[in-house]
Structure 1
């Protein structure tokens, strides 16, 4: 039987087309599989990153935005600070620490929230919730700890300095230049479980002094359980980035609360041998 070259060529061409189609299908499936794998991997990585960010924000550190002038010149309006949530906790809260705390009750005036639309508002709130954006500080304040539980805090001695447990403290290292330690006199003892806080810009800080109508320290002091954490570094703007000092030397000579010296009683010096 005679061989038909045209038929053989047609069969070969059909076979080639079939192979090309099969290879194209395999390639498309491969690309789809690779794309699907990449999408799944990206989703997993994003989910892990968001979870890690939320855990870090909840238990370790959180960024806050400075909205007012009460801590000038230590902190300026618009600064971003990182707050360690390990203080108080594993690390002890001390005099001189800068702390962020929830409003103890009517310390803050209502602040208008910028409305950027439902989508952008929701995105902003979600990113703040997981810690990808600094908290706007709504409902929170930032001040410096001046007195711890049991401390006797007074304003002021003959030189205009605050006294803590009878010891005058020199605050020029952090007070805004030209501002007095306090233009309001007070004489309080910090109740148990609370702290006495003041801004570094004493002329423009609605702090413990202005929320203690009884003059005893019971109302103006802040419950320790409202403390979010200790501000440790400024991260924005870059030219102001750096560690925030607690100025431990300012309080280094302050005696413990309840000691004879803090109560104004005579102190018996030990005899030399």
Structure 2
């Protein structure tokens, strides 16, 4: 190869090297610009994402599941102060409220709060309190959590010869959830639960301001079913106490189930009994016309 050929080859390679260099520079520049655009786009979209997340959370809270903060000792040891529970707001659309359910309900215009809170001093504080209540960070001022002992038509009484509360004459063994050292009730009472209402009690009976302490209120201490927000079904905070909240086995007694069945059959039986004489009268009337 002559010196001219070498010079020619070197010359012919230079543009290729220059081209490669230019391409590499353009590629790096494009990558950097793309990252900048992505960063800018993320920060622009972040407020929208936050708003959408809040809206979705509020929709879920309003219609499906809501977190609640436990501010008092009235449900110890099932629930402790500062526990957070999730409440199912749909369950009672597919089934009736059952004895043994732990329910959250509103006491607006009825019961006084077990824990008193100062009203927010300004709208901003009020807004943040509302948000905190909605997400279970702070307690609601008029929300209660109790265990359902009696449903409509039940007779709840204290106490039998062994000191047990009875429902329709069936004694409840409450050792599994009653606060250690507490008795089912200190003062005797007997209450017939009106239609559309519930008899509720705390598990820590000695400190719970439940149906027993509201017998002078409308409904004789019972609460309206339409004020029930939902069923507390799981503890989610603290993590060390995370667990499902079951219905105690004492409420699954066959005698109680039989009482429910009898109560449901009673209207049908009464209707049938009333229909028999009407049918007989109608037949006699038709025969007389013939």
TM-score, scaled relative to structure 2: 0.71
CA contact (8 A) 1:107 1:206 kept: no
Return the offset for 1:88. Answer: 2.1
CA–CA distance in structure 2, aligned partners of residues 115 and 73 of structure 1: 31
Relative distance call for 1:249 and 1:163 in structure 2 (3 A) is closer
State whether structure 2 residue 177 is matched by structure 1 residue 174.
yes
Count of aligned pairs between the two proteins: 235
Return the offset for 1:101. Answer: 0.6
* Residue deviations 1:56-106 (CA, integer Å, cap 9, x gap): 100111111111111111111111111111132223310000001111513
CA contact (8 A) 2:129 2:138 kept: no
CA–CA distance in structure 2, aligned partners of residues 79 and 73 of structure 1: 11
**Alignment match, 2:160:** 157
Gaps of 5+ in 2: 1-25, 264-290
CA–CA distance in structure 2, aligned partners of residues 89 and 136 of structure 1: 25
Return the offset for 1:31. Answer: 7.3
Superposed counterparts of 1:234-253, under 5 Å? 234-252=235-253, 253=255
CA–CA distance in structure 1, aligned partners of residues 115 and 77 of structure 2: 24
State whether structure 2 residue 77 is matched by structure 1 residue 73.
yes
State whether structure 2 residue 52 is matched by structure 1 residue 48.
yes
CA contact (8 A) 1:152 1:257 kept: no
Counterpart secondary structure, 1:203:
coil
Return the offset for 1:238. Answer: 1.4
CA–CA distance in structure 1, aligned partners of residues 223 and 63 of structure 2: 21
Relative distance call for 1:232 and 1:27 in structure 2 (3 A) is closer
* Residue deviations 1:218-244 (CA, integer Å, cap 9, x gap): 320000011111101111111111111
Q: Which has the higher contact order (CA 8 A, sep 6+)?
A: 1
Counterpart secondary structure, 1:88:
helix
Q: Which structure shows the higher helix fraction?
A: 2
Relative distance call for 1:176 and 1:50 in structure 2 (3 A) is same
Counterpart secondary structure, 1:239:
helix
Return the offset for 1:30. Answer: 6.8
CA–CA distance in structure 2, aligned partners of residues 172 and 204 of structure 1: 17
Counterpart pick for 2:92 among 72, 88, 97: 88
Relative distance call for 1:127 and 1:142 in structure 2 (3 A) is closer
Bigger Rg, which one: 2
Which sits farther off after the overlay, 244-253 or 193-202?
A: 244-253
Counterpart secondary structure, 1:205:
coil
Counterpart pick for 1:197 among 172, 179, 200: 200
Gaps of 5+ in 1: 1-22, 261-273
Which sits farther off after the overlay, 225-234 or 109-118?
A: 109-118
Relative distance call for 1:238 and 1:117 in structure 2 (3 A) is farther
Superposed counterparts of 1:1-273, under 5 Å? 33-103=37-107, 105-108=110-113, 111-113=116-118, 122-129=127-134, 131=135, 133-213=136-216, 218-252=219-253, 253-254=255-256, 255-257=258-260, 259=262
